């Protein structure tokens, strides 16, 4: 059962007010970052599973739900991530926090961790984006040409649809993944949200040397949960990269697709823990 008591947590960073759901009574504080196009409610199944150990801060990413009216040009950079974590800890009266991230949220969780190593002692990476960071993402968010093409894409998605079709025909992406990508860009509002999200978190790139050093020294616990049938965050490539760059991280492999946070996916995770 989900928690009956849901409190609202508000905290200010710079001139922006963030809102989050504050749920649970566990002794450890855990901040959860959802994926693109979702909201923090996707973690409610995880909260149900881990409520005895953690109190959850379920927070929406910039340009999603409670934060959907954020100003254009907002950038979640290193300095902002430090102020952001400090504001949460001050508000909750805690000195340490665990982080959990799904898909792009996992990449953001890694970035926040490396910038706040004295405040984060544990991260959970679920179907993580950023292992490795996509070259296409770097091109579209870091280069002048890429950013301009990406901006045009909001109004004119035809180029993206052509690239998806070519990738599918060349078997560079699966039919399942192609269907997922087409859905994610199927309306102007969805394309604008994708653009705003990717641009605002474009500096949230993991430094694997820093994370690995913290993990190796026992200062940071890293658990990575992968779906063997994930068509979006490809299992073989992600697992190989993880073993090479974060060799001391714990890897949990599930008979699951990308949607590990679904009721079905979390039940598989629960079965894994009970085994």
Domain ranges of the chain: 6-132+205-274, 135-197
Instruction: Give dist(CA 127, CA 235) in Å, integer.
Output: 9
Q: What is the CATH number of domain 6-132+205-274?
A: 3.40.50.1820
Q: Which residue has the tokens 């998806």?
A: 164
pLDDT band at 274 (very low <50, low <70, confident <90, very high): low
pLDDT confidence of residue 1: 44
**Helical residues (DSSP H) of 2-143, grouped into ranges:** 44-50, 78-92, 104-115, 135-142
Band (pLDDT 50/70/90 cuts) for residue 24 is confident
Q: Give this prediction's pTM.
A: 0.92
Q: What percent of the chain has pLDDT over 70?
A: 97
Point out the least confidently predicted range of 40-44, 174-178, 191-195, 242-246: 174-178
Confidence of residue 60 (pLDDT cuts 50, 70, 90): very high
- The stretches of the chain forming alpha helices (DSSP H) are 44-50, 78-92, 104-115, 135-142, 144-155, 158-169, 175-184, 188-200, 208-216, 235-245, 263-274
Query: With bands split at pLDDT 50, 70 and 90, how would you rate the model's confidence at 4?
Result: low
């Amino acid at each position: 059962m989900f928690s009956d008591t849901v409190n609202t947590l508000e905290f200010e960073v710079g001139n922006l007010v963030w809102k989050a759901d504050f749920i649970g009574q566990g002794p450890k504080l855990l901040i959860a970052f959802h994926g693109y196009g979702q909201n923090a409610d996707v973690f409610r199944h995880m909260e149900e599973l881990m409520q005895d150990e953690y109190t959850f801060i379920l927070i929406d990413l910039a340009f999603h739900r409670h934060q959907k009216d954020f100003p254009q040009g907002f950038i979640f950079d290193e300095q902002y991530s430090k102020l952001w974590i400090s504001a949460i800890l001050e508000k909750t009266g805690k000195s340490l926090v665990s982080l959990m991230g799904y898909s792009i949220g996992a990449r953001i969780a890694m970035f926040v961790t490396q910038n706040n190593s004295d405040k984060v002692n544990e991260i959970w990476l679920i179907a993580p984006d950023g292992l490795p960071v996509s070259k296409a993402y770097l091109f579209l968010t870091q280069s002048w040409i890429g950013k301009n093409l990406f901006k045009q894409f909001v109004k004119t998605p035809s180029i993206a649809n052509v690239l998806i079709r070519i990738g599918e025909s060349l078997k560079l992406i699966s039919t399942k993944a192609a269907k997922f990508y087409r859905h994610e860009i199927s309306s102007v509002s969805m394309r604008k949200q994708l653009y705003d999200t990717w641009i605002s978190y474009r500096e949230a790139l993991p430094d694997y040397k820093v994370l690995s050093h913290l993990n190796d020294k026992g200062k940071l616990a890293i658990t990575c949960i992968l779906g063997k049938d994930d068509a979006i965050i490809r299992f073989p490539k992600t697992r190989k990269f993880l073993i090479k760059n974060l060799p001391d991280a714990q890897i949990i492999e599930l008979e699951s697709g990308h949607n590990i946070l679904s009721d079905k996916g979390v039940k598989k995770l629960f079965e894994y823990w009970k085994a």
